[in-house]
Structure 1
Amino acid sequence: MSENIRLGFIGLGNMGFPMSENLVKSEYTVYGFDINPTAISKFKELGGQVCQSIKEVVQQVDVLFLSLPSPAIVEKTFYEEGIIKYSPEGLMIIDTSTVNPELNRTIFNVCQENNLKYLGAPVSGGVIGAVNATLTFMVGGPKEYFDEVLPLLDVLGKNLFHVGESPDSGTVIKLINNLMIGFYTQAVGEALTLGENMGLDHERMFEILSVSYGQSRIYERNYKEYIAENNYEPGFTTNLLLKDLKIAKQMAEECEVKLPIGEQLVDWYTKIANEGYGDNDMSAAYLMTKDLAKKAIEIK
């Protein structure tokens, strides 16, 4: 794919901004839009072309990326705000947002009717992965579309998977991935809380468990980057994890699969969010678990 192509990016938040930055650094012309003025200012400073509306973005570009926080916002962006209405025929759309599989399928069909190309391409790897261009892309949609945009994805990530021809196939595995993240994040919170109440040191626990079967990338991430630093500024918020867990639960219900623990996770992370940790990093599940243990001890 030629470096002369013009790229668009809608959604310049925690994930979208570093992805757009890597495209600009690779000397692509990138047109961007976000409702947050601070994000727009940062995008302009790095050399991006600022647009005042979604309509303006889509009319300037050959390939459009999206990185948006919820299915409702994605749906609104395609319909009410005009991606479908204003996009020129042949526009390639790469949606990195995590949505429900049905929405992927619906948008794909509408895009086909309007001679637009669409890939559901959620990512994993967090903000660090976006900054370092080491993201995992899980792409659903026609293989020929995937092959066409592979040079662009290669700028943004290092693990690039075409999951299947169905536009929702990447989303399905992304939701499974985030279901597992929900398990692991709570496991880390419970393990650390139990260990400290039994007199163990967090660092010593990490040293030992990191070379044992209890090791996981989520343990390393949550502990080293957040819990050990007592810093819960979000890389991936509790609210976003909860959103994905709810969609995963809905997906399981639609195919009549029982998730004995997964269903409980939705209730648990809802409680965490309601206790004020919704906008914190998901690793704040440890704080909630620690608080519960402390209260139980005080009652005794």
Structure 2
Amino acid sequence: MNSQSEQLLHIGVIGLGAMGMGIANTLLQKGFDVTGCDIADEVRASFVASGGRSVATPAELSHCNVVLVVVVNGNQVEQVLFSEQGVVGHLASGSLIIQCATVAPSQAKQLGERVAAEGLMMLDAPISGGAAKAKSGELSVMASGAAKAFSYASDVLDAMAAKVYHLGEDPGVGSSMKLVNQLLAGVHIATAAEAMALGIRMGLDPEVIFEVITHSAGNSWMFENRVPHILKGDYTPLSAVDIFIKDLNIVHQTGRELSMATPVAASALQQFTSASGAGFGREDDSAVIKVYQRLSGITLPEAANDAQGT
């Protein structure tokens, strides 16, 4: 460990969802002392089975000196940090919070100020890469915060990420960068679904569409990553439709704060909202294509077991 973190690091991970569990297991496998925190009994049991420790409330992470927050939204961040059972009031002075959830930049700035007022450090450190990259320790981290916080966190960040971007000293900068990423990611997923729907409606073979586009200028990372879910008819949520409703709403909110229109993001938000309203909110975000199925009657590929009637 570096000179700033020679003391033994006790890591807490709040939120053992797809991303949080991947991070927690990665850190555990790389030799860190890790305690996972989640409200779900079965999730905690799964982490314990992997060799970690678990607690049901953030307040029980008082022995930790680094806590990663990997929850779904800003309201949950507020709860796990500052509620009666929140972690902030129970950590030793000088401990570090690494806030990884996607929140509005304005909220990230406020969180940083409140955490500092309690004698703690915070990195505004949203993550990108999905569950697979979390599991393999190859995330991208878009972080901002004081140099001392970066130094303290360096071993943890190096273990969980392939790339750590140091974006400045002020909380809110990391979240600003993540918002740019989420605008593009949401628009690309919605556009990939629309492009696939158009091709299918014109009678093209979905597999051929994928083959041609992934070797053409119209390709995108999201097209290449999400369209296989459509081809397999498998909408098991790796990142759910409702996540992009949340994130694109943050884009919209931030645009309003800046008096800046974001019309393309707004259009994508409407597609995700339509998908959620049709009952697909908890399915994989590629299920946004089902909006086109409802509207134009296209036939989408089915999962293998569905096609076999089993």
Shorter-chain TM-score tier: over 0.9
CA contact (8 A) 1:3 1:27 kept: no
Q: Give the counterpart of 1:117 among 98, 118, 121.
A: 121
Who is 1:66 aligned against?
Answer: 69
Q: Distance in 2 between matches of 1:290 and 1:239?
A: 19
Q: Distance in 2 between matches of 1:170 and 1:144?
A: 16
Q: Distance in 1 between matches of 2:76 and 2:287?
A: 26
Q: Distance in 1 between matches of 2:209 and 2:88?
A: 52
Confirm or deny that 1:260 pairs with 2:263.
yes
Q: Distance in 2 between matches of 1:52 and 1:16?
A: 15
Q: Give the counterpart of 1:106 among 102, 110, 127.
A: 110
Q: Distance in 2 between matches of 1:4 and 1:60?
A: 11
| Cα displacement string for residues 122-161 of structure 1 (whole angstroms, at most 9, x for unaligned residues) | 1111111111211110002113312331221111110110
What is the CA distance between 1:47 and its match in structure 2? 1.0
Q: Give the counterpart of 1:95 among 79, 93, 99.
A: 99
Alignment of 1:167-246 (within 5 A): 167-224=171-228, 226-246=229-249
Give percent identity, aligned residues only.
Answer: 28
| Cα displacement string for residues 162-210 of structure 1 (whole angstroms, at most 9, x for unaligned residues) | 1121211111111111111111111111111111121211121112111
CA contact (8 A) 1:138 1:160 kept: yes
What is the CA distance between 1:53 and its match in structure 2? 2.4
Q: Give the counterpart of 1:42 among 20, 43, 46.
A: 46
Q: Distance in 1 between matches of 2:166 and 2:100?
A: 13
SS state of the match for residue 283, structure 2?
Answer: coil
| Cα displacement string for residues 54-73 of structure 1 (whole angstroms, at most 9, x for unaligned residues) | 1111x111111110011111
What is the CA distance between 1:3 and its match in structure 2? 8.2
What is the CA distance between 1:251 and its match in structure 2? 0.5
CA contact (8 A) 2:190 2:272 kept: no
Who is 2:302 aligned against?
Answer: none
What is the CA distance between 1:52 and its match in structure 2? 3.7
What is the CA distance between 1:292 and its match in structure 2? 1.2
Q: Distance in 2 between matches of 1:206 and 1:263?
A: 26
Who is 1:298 aligned against?
Answer: none
CA contact (8 A) 2:190 2:271 kept: no
Q: Give the counterpart of 1:282 among 278, 281, 285.
A: 285
Q: Distance in 2 between matches of 1:227 and 1:52?
A: 36
Please report the TM-score for the alignment, with normalisation by the length of structure 2: 0.91
CA contact (8 A) 1:7 1:61 kept: yes
Q: Distance in 2 between matches of 1:84 and 1:7?
A: 14
SS state of the match for residue 164, structure 1?
Answer: coil
Write the letter of the residue equivalent to 1:108.
G
What is the CA distance between 1:267 and its match in structure 2? 2.5
Confirm or deny that 1:269 pairs with 2:277.
no
Write the letter of the residue equivalent to 2:22.
P
Distance 1:3 1:220, change over 3 A: farther
Q: Distance in 1 between matches of 2:86 and 2:206?
A: 51
Q: Give the counterpart of 2:252 among 238, 242, 249.
A: 249
Over aligned residues, Cα RMSD in angstroms? 1.4
Q: Distance in 2 between matches of 1:220 and 1:260?
A: 24
Gaps of 5+ in 1: 296-300
CA contact (8 A) 1:136 1:160 kept: yes
What is the CA distance between 1:259 and its match in structure 2? 1.2
Q: Distance in 2 between matches of 1:223 and 1:282?
A: 10
CA contact (8 A) 2:98 2:122 kept: yes
Who is 2:21 aligned against?
Answer: 17
Who is 1:77 aligned against?
Answer: 80
